[in-house]
Amino acid sequence: MNAIEIRGLSKRFGSKQAVDGLHMTVPEGAIYGFIGEDGSGKSTTEKMICGLLHPTSGSISLYGKDHNDDEIRSHIGVLIEAPGCVPDCSVWNNMMIQAANLEIKDPEQEIAKVLKTVRMEGAASNKFKNCSLGMKQHIGIAMALLGNPRLLVLDEPINGLDADGMRIMREVLTDITKQGCTVLISSHILGELEKIATHYGIIRHGRMIREMTAEELEADCPTYIALRTGEGSKIKLLLKGRYGRVEEEEDGTIRIYDDVKPEDVVAWLYEKGVTVSEIWTAKIGLEEYYIDLMGGKKQ
């Protein structure tokens, strides 16, 4: 079953068409990376999924039910923008307030569980306002996890995290999906997203321009040999005479996309009197794939 199925979804704010006939399919158990440049409609889409905004038209179904269904709505955890916490209250008391709102039966036990899940059990007595940005992001996720949601909707949750914070967030999200929760996560930090996402959706001007699994992305991303010679562009011409697809990057690195062995390239260039100073194999990643798809312009 799909956790989210969106068909022909649109949202207009006055004359601004923020979301425009969007289709989206998020399978159950996925970590779905939702990607698009600023203003492309990610937050608006997520808000409609969570019932925070009403669509102008189109349908959203969650686990086969209309997204307005009260029962299904109670199974969705949300972190869009900052968590709604009282700055002067402790993390624990903020969680208690949220648990009361959600009418959770065993709040102490449940709060201890979700704080442990996000590695924040040591921060329970801290005042919320004294928490670092990374801690606040994790606490926001803990809040969203109260009530044991089947679907977690996160808007840019790794913005502003340091390397360690990102690593913990990765582990947390992977753990959550192991517990049976589906995660929809928007982010423009593609290198991080690529480490955890099982599916991707790329949105532009409010329309879904591509949806794919991590395996499809992997298959679409070619491997290549990269090399440096210190001899500039003439090497590219030389290599172009022998190989099918040869490109030069801005820093002078040459890429060969043909299925060849690095040692054969080195030997052949050596015969031509060219010494290779560095050579390695690499693979196009999500970031480069995305930039190419957007027409070569970084967002």
Ligand X SMILES: Nc1ncnc2c1ncn2[C@@H]1O[C@H](COP(=O)(O)OP(=O)(O)O)[C@@H](O)[C@H]1O
> Which residues of the shown chain bind Mg ion in the complex (CB under 5 A)?
42-43
- Closest contact distance (angstroms) between CB of 133 and ligand X is 19
Using alpha carbons, list the distances in angstroms from residue 180 to 78, 119, 242.
16, 19, 51
- Closest contact distance (angstroms) between CB of 5 and ligand X is 20
Judged by CB under 6 A, the chain residues 27 through 46 that form the site for ligand X are 36, 38-44
The option from Mg ion, ligand X, none interacting with 44 (CB < 5 to 8 A, set by class) reads: ligand X
- Choose between 42 and 199: whose C-beta lies nearer to Mg ion: 42
- Choose between 39 and 191: whose C-beta lies nearer to ligand X: 39
- Closest contact distance (angstroms) between CB of 247 and ligand X is 31
- Choose between 124 and 293: whose C-beta lies nearer to ligand X: 293
Q: Residue with the closest Cβ to Mg ion?
A: 43
Dmax over CA atoms of the chain, in Å, equals 77
Q: Which of 287, 34, 8 is nearest to 158 (CA)?
A: 34
- Choose between 41 and 147: whose C-beta lies nearer to ligand X: 41
Strands of 76-79's sheet, edge to edge?
Answer: 76-79, 151-155, 182-186, 31-35, 199-204, 207-213
- Closest contact distance (angstroms) between CB of 15 and ligand X is 10
What is the torsion angle, in degrees rounded to the nearest 10, for the CA atoms of residue 202, residue 205, residue 208 and residue 210?
-40
Count Cβ atoms within 10 A of the Cβ of residue 233 and give its class: 0-12 exposed, 13-18 middle, 19 or more buried: exposed
- Closest contact distance (angstroms) between CB of 81 and Mg ion is 9
- Closest contact distance (angstroms) between CB of 242 and ligand X is 44
Interatomic CA distance for residues 247 and 142, integer angstroms: 46
- Choose between 178 and 298: whose C-beta lies nearer to ligand X: 298
Dig out the tokens for 10 from the structure: 């649109």
Size of the site for ligand X (CB under 6 A): 11
- Choose between 221 and 294: whose C-beta lies nearer to Mg ion: 294
Judged by CB under 6 A, the chain residues 4 through 23 that form the site for ligand X are 13, 16, 18
Residues 3/52, Cβ–Cβ less than 8 Å: no
Interatomic CA distance for residues 198 and 32, integer angstroms: 6
Helix H or strand E encompassing 20: strand 16-27
Binding site for ligand X (CB under 6 A): 13, 16, 18, 36, 38-44
